[in-house]
Structure 1
Amino acid sequence: METLRLCVQEARPTVQVAFLLRFAVGMASAAQLPHALARPALGMASLWCAVVYAYLLNGVTDVREDRANGSRRPIARGDLPARTAANGTVLLACAALLLGGLAGPRVVLWTAGFLALSWAYSAEPVKAKCSSGRCAMVVFGLGATAYGTGVAASGGEWTATGVLVAGVMSAWMALVGAVVKDLGDVRGDAAGGRRTVAVVRGPAVARALAVAGAVTVGAGAPALALLWATPALAAAVPVALGAVWVVARVLHGARREHADRAERRGAYRAFMVTQYVANLAMLAVLALGQPLG
């Protein structure tokens, strides 16, 4: 049980919850809601196993970077052997596919896609984490597949609201989260041989890219919602407000040249809180039975 607890801790519980929220929003946004709970429960369990697999694999492949960055997660601090964690990823991938198969063919296909993208993010030959461009594409896919798994588990189909929310929130992950995360990890990423924008071009360029991404998604989300699916404003408005917060944190960090890692990660925390609020707000609107666009 202690090993399981450490594996779950290594896989970042706050991120696990964020992915389960995406699943729930995808399911609630579908044109048809399930009449029984078995398939959604199996689908959610399948995605949870896949998410823990993704971040446990990331921990196994990121030991050098995490230690250089001062991470206190179990593998970096030596409490969870990397070999044990690697064995755990095999079991988790098998469990994700088994549970997905029990939930139905559409669910297992989305789950398999999530697992493949997770491997591409952390491992050879793609190793998308080492390049900001590849990272953004894979991260967008991880977000989209989480929403897609929820739609599939509902037994229904995509709606305009579901497509828009999944697209906006996945873009928030790819264009904002994937960039601001690197601002606090430059030293470790360089030590691990990563070629992110922050490492290759410097933090100033990475900050400019983060601001551009936040402004693009923050302005585009409500505009698209008004044009295409007004219920999606429930997510788009928090994203717009969160974009202002992220920009403020990025600019604040630019003025603090010698800020510690916790302060350098202020923009990432703003990104995380924003996606929690946006998904929860969207889920609340859908649960209240608002008409789907």
Structure 2
Amino acid sequence: MPTTRSPEKPQAIPLSLLLCLTEARPSVQIIFLLRFSTAFLLAEPAASAGPAAFAVAAAAWTCATTYVYLINGVHDAPEDRLNSNGRPISSGRLSPERAKVIAWGLAALALLLAALGPVPYLTALVAAQLLCGYAYSAPRIALKRRTSTAVLCILALGGLTFAAGWACAGGGSRAALPVLVFGTVMTLWMGAVGAMVKDLSDLAGDAAAGRRTALIRWGERRARMICAINPLLLGVAYTAVAATAVPVLLPSALLLLCGALATAALTATTSSSEPRNRSRLPYRAFMFTQYAACTAAFCYALAR
């Protein structure tokens, strides 16, 4: 005799919002805000870009990036369950339907705040960020399925963040070089390093979901070799440019170089078949490195 499933108890809105924030990965949201803030400060903000204007712009950008990662969690639920990542949606603590409603609410709020922001074209930048996030995850487009399109999308998400921070500071050319160098390097760190190493621990779930990532197409050994080389090349290049052209970024560059060495070493000494707390180490090294490099640049800009 068929059994009837008992209806789910309604979930309190504050709890749903907290679970949505958890799903959107607070560590990732903080680093996006740090990128935005560092670009803003390095650009030597104009007098019109006061604390209130910055707060509105930063809030708009945070709503947009939270939407990006929350909608990604909604559409990634099947493979997240296979990969046992323990996030609220994949573990059943948050329904995809409720998360989707909150995600679109955040998108609307991001556009509203952007319209109140310090520069008129902030709305266009926020809209572009939202569209990139949607295209990355939405089933009919799903740029995430292939490493090439995933990398391009992640590069866009990073580049738009630095562009938005610079634009909200006034978009002047007085300190354009530090913002350009720092933004380019950290965007490449996201796209050429983070977009690759994040897949190293998720081979089983990605294959089951039909993704065609580099790890699946090339084989783990070859993919890991590329994941180890990319951070080293970027770390050396950033250090060389900082030392010769933008010395104020040298502490940030040296921290990124140290992190690149750690990321490469962990990539070469781990395997996707190991427990998640170990197979995830290259991605954690990538995250820790960008936190360190961004914080160094942020502290310099703040102390000027």
Q: Which has the larger radius of gyration?
A: 2
CA distance in 2, matches of 1:262, 1:282: 30
Aligned to 1:29: 42
What TM-score do you get using the length of structure 2 for normalisation? 0.91
Please state how far the C-alpha of 1:226 moved relative to its aligned partner: 2.7
Is residue 82 of structure 2 the alignment partner of residue 65 of structure 1?
no
Alignment of 1:161-240 (within 5 A): 161-240=178-257
Aligned to 2:282: 267
Q: Which amino acid aligns with 2:23?
A: E
**Preserved CA contact (<8 Å) 1:39 1:154:** no
**Preserved CA contact (<8 Å) 2:57 2:168:** yes
Task: Assess, with a 3 A threshold, how the Cα gap between structure 1 residues 126 and 226 changes in structure 2: closer, same or farther.
Answer: farther
Aligned to 2:32, the other structure's residue is in SS state helix
Which of 59, 64, 79 aligns to 2:93? It is 79
What TM-score do you get using the length of structure 1 for normalisation? 0.94
Alignment of 1:1-293 (within 5 A): 1-35=14-48, 36-103=50-117, 104-157=119-172, 159-254=176-271, 258-289=273-304
Task: Assess, with a 3 A threshold, how the Cα gap between structure 1 residues 190 and 40 changes in structure 2: closer, same or farther.
Answer: same
Tell me, which stretches of 5 or more residues in structure 1 are unaligned?
A: none
Please state how far the C-alpha of 1:156 moved relative to its aligned partner: 3.6
Structure with greater helix percent:
1
Please state how far the C-alpha of 1:120 moved relative to its aligned partner: 1.7
CA RMSD of aligned residues (A): 1.4
Aligned to 2:262, the other structure's residue is in SS state helix
Q: Which amino acid aligns with 1:229?
A: V
CA distance in 2, matches of 1:28, 1:141: 21
**Preserved CA contact (<8 Å) 1:50 1:92:** yes
Please state how far the C-alpha of 1:163 moved relative to its aligned partner: 0.6
**Preserved CA contact (<8 Å) 1:58 1:122:** yes
Aligned to 2:198, the other structure's residue is in SS state helix
Aligned to 1:126, the other structure's residue is in SS state coil
Identity %: 35
CA distance in 1, matches of 2:109, 2:246: 36
Q: Which amino acid aligns with 2:156?
A: G
Aligned to 2:223, the other structure's residue is in SS state helix
Please state how far the C-alpha of 1:227 moved relative to its aligned partner: 3.4
CA distance in 2, matches of 1:258, 1:116: 34
Please state how far the C-alpha of 1:34 moved relative to its aligned partner: 4.5
Q: After superposition, what is the alpha-carbon deviation per residue over 1:122-149, rounded to whole angstroms, capped at 9, x for unaligned? A: 1144312111111111111111111122
CA distance in 2, matches of 1:49, 1:131: 26
**Preserved CA contact (<8 Å) 1:221 1:236:** yes
CA distance in 1, matches of 2:220, 2:35: 30
CA distance in 2, matches of 1:211, 1:24: 29
Q: Which amino acid aligns with 1:119?
A: Y
CA distance in 1, matches of 2:109, 2:47: 23
Q: Which amino acid aligns with 2:277?
A: A
Q: After superposition, what is the alpha-carbon deviation per residue over 1:10-32, rounded to whole angstroms, capped at 9, x for unaligned? A: 10000000100001101001143
Q: Which amino acid aligns with 1:63?
A: A
| Shift >6 Å, 4+ stretches | none
